[in-house]
Amino acid sequence: METSKMFKLLNDVSMKAVGEYIEGFLKMEKQMDAQAIYSNEGIIIQGRQIDDTWKKVSGMDMATQIRIIPTGENILVSVGQGKWSDKIGAATIGLFVFAPLAITAGVGAFKQNKLPNEIFAKIEQFILSGGQSSTVDLNAVASLKDNEEICPKCKAKNDKSDKYCTSCGTSLLLTCSKCNTSMPQDAKFCSSCGEKAVPEDESV
């Protein structure tokens, strides 16, 4: 079954802002191919791993599917998994809003089985911060060059060789929780000891 959670919209954060943030989260932090459709009825976001390993194994293109539906002052967020749709549009909204999210056979081996909880935590953080501290600029992401990265705090563009943001001074490096070696933001594992890289906001 899909995983769902209700959130109360606070601090003038809108449903659209939440959707844009989660779309950006999938693209920036999860390095996924993501797309979305927005309407007053709700928001549908789908994301897939850029590599096609699962497509080769399962014979279909797997996607994480996120549905955001307004319910008064709240939004209901549901996360499931199904087949990637190359064309999502207005018709998709009706399909997903009024029916359960597609659950594909073999989901027991879903690589992102922690993703729903990550998404829920990100949404809660985003709403509580008033949409300020975690805002992702999708236009900035789209215009990034290969040698550029975005500051996790102020979202300014920086060269990947920079150790600190040239706009706000925030460190652009991750620190290994095991050996304290500095590593790039996009590192998956420490090059010194092999420890899995953990973002700052998940290390507490």
For residue 72 the two structure tokens come to 């008064």
Q: Within this chain, do residues 90 and 120 fall inside the same structural domain, yes or no?
A: yes
CA dist 110 and 113 (Å) reads: 6
> What is the extent of the structural domain holding 46?
3-141
Listed as ranges, residues in the chain with pLDDT below 70 are 1-2, 51-61, 87-113, 132-144, 153, 198-204
Same domain, 59 and 102: yes
pLDDT given at position 90: 56
- Last residue within a domain, chosen from 92, 120, 141: 141
Residues 63 and 104 both lie in one domain? yes
Number of domains in the chain: 2
Distance in angstroms (rounded) separating the CA atoms of residues 128 and 11: 7
Question: pLDDT by residue (tens digit) across 163-179?
Answer: 888 888 888 888 888 88
**pLDDT recorded at residue 77:** 92
DSSP 3-state assignment of 74? strand
How confident is the model at residue 56, as a pLDDT?
A: 47
Q: Which residues contact 169 (CB under 8 A, 6 or more apart)?
A: none
166 and 120 in one domain? Answer: no
Return the pLDDT at 135. Answer: 46
Q: Are residues 34 and 134 in the same domain?
A: yes
- Regarding whether 125 and 59 lie in a shared domain, the answer is yes
How far is the C-alpha of 53 from the C-alpha of 1, rounded, in Å? 23
State how far the Cα of 169 lies from the Cα of 29, in Å rounded to an integer: 20
Whether residue 41 is found in the same domain as residue 137: yes
Give me the pLDDT at residue 84, please: 77
What pTM did the predictor assign?
A: 0.57
95 shares a domain with 15:
yes
Q: Are residues 154 and 80 in the same domain?
A: no
Same domain, yes or no: 13 and 81: yes
End-of-domain residue from the set 108, 141, 174: 141
Same domain as 59, residue 27: yes
Quick count: other Cβ atoms within 10 Å of Cβ 72? 7
If asked whether residues 40 and 75 sit together in one domain, one would say yes
